[in-house]
């Protein structure tokens, strides 16, 4: 999709064509983020830092798309994403609650790992910890989802987009988006995607702004 350099390495899942501009915003920080805990689909609220991050990202978005006329707004149903979207929309001076919820862009479930830090998981279940280190895309937490499974969940939603879209979602979802437009490379797993910027996908390329 789009122009890709010779260094592009296809991710280990199908890559759908993203036909319209898509702006992805990761929810603001939660206390579990600050502690390095795997949240997955646990409904952890924003903390005050996260609310300020959402406000600044709303300001950035307003500079990029104005009041958002002609754009659809879609949000993960998890509380931290919903509150982020409400704050973002207030910065655009539009109805904070006029957006759609989309469960397909909820965070990957980490199953039995949710609530653990990686250091705790290393002690609690060393084999599981090692499997994640060895296969970041394919490793599946017990009773959870792998990143490949997450990509397969997200892809039909991406294919369905027919209007420019702002999506408030999660670190794992944005990691999948990035792999689809930037290719699979080790830096995708150098820490979670930032909560301080927005990720803009246009014409088959992605960039942070």
Does some domain include residue 116?
no
Task: For residues 51 and 89, give the distance between their C-alpha atoms in angstroms, rounded to a whole number.
Answer: 13
Does some domain include residue 194?
yes
Q: Encode burial over 4-43: b for 16+ CB neighbours within 10 A, e otherwise.
A: eeeeeeebebebbebeebbbbbbbbbbebbeeebbbbbbe
Give the pLDDT of residue 7.
62
What is the domain range of residue 48? 22-110+145-208
Tens digit of pLDDT for each residue in 87-98?
999 999 999 999
Length of the chain in terms of residues written: 209
Q: CATH number, domain at 192?
A: 3.40.50.1240
**Burial of 142 per CB tally in 10 Å (0-12, 13-18, 19+):** exposed
Q: Which of 83, 102, 107, 114 is catalytic?
A: 107
Does some domain include residue 139?
no
| E strands present in the chain | 22-26, 72-75, 100-101, 165-169, 199-202, 205-208
Does some domain include residue 4?
no
Q: Which two tokens stand for residue 168?
A: 């408030």
Q: Which of 27, 114, 170, 182 is catalytic?
A: 27
Tens digit of pLDDT for each residue in 30-42?
999 999 999 999 9
Helix, strand, or coil here: 175? helix
Does some domain include residue 15?
no
Task: For residues 99 and 76, give the distance between their C-alpha atoms in angstroms, rounded to a whole number.
Answer: 10
Give the pLDDT of residue 5.
45
Tens digit of pLDDT for each residue in 5-16?
446 799 999 999
Does some domain include residue 1?
no
Give how many domains the chain has, as a whole number.
1
Does some domain include residue 124?
no
Does residue 27 carry a catalytic annotation?
Answer: yes
Tens digit of pLDDT for each residue in 98-153?
999 999 999 999 999 999 999 999 898 888 888 888 999 999 999 999 999 999 99
**pTM for the whole structure:** 0.94
Does some domain include residue 35?
yes
């Amino acid at each position: 999709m789009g122009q890709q350099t010779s260094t592009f390495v296809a991710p280990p899942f199908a890559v759908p064509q993203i036909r319209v501009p898509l702006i992805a915003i990761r929810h603001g920080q939660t206390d579990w983020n600050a502690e390095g805990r795997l949240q997955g689909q646990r409904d952890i609220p924003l903390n005050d830092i996260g609310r300020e991050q959402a406000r600044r990202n709303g300001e950035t978005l307003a500079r990029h798309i104005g009041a958002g006329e002609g754009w659809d707004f879609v949000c993960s149903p998890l509380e931290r994403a919903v509150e982020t979207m409400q704050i973002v929309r207030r910065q655009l001076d539009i109805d904070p609650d006029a957006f759609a919820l989309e469960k397909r862009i909820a965070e990957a479930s980490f199953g039995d790992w949710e609530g653990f830090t990686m250091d705790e998981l290393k002690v609690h279940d060393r084999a599981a910890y090692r499997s994640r280190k060895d296969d970041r895309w394919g490793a599946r937490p017990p009773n959870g989802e792998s990143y490949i499974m997450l990509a397969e969940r997200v892809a039909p939603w991406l294919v369905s987009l027919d209007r420019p879209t702002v999506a408030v979602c999660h670190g794992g979802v944005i990691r999948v988006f990035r792999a689809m437009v930037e290719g699979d490379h080790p830096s995708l797993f150098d820490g979670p995607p930032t909560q301080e910027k927005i990720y803009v996908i246009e014409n088959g390329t992605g960039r942070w702004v």
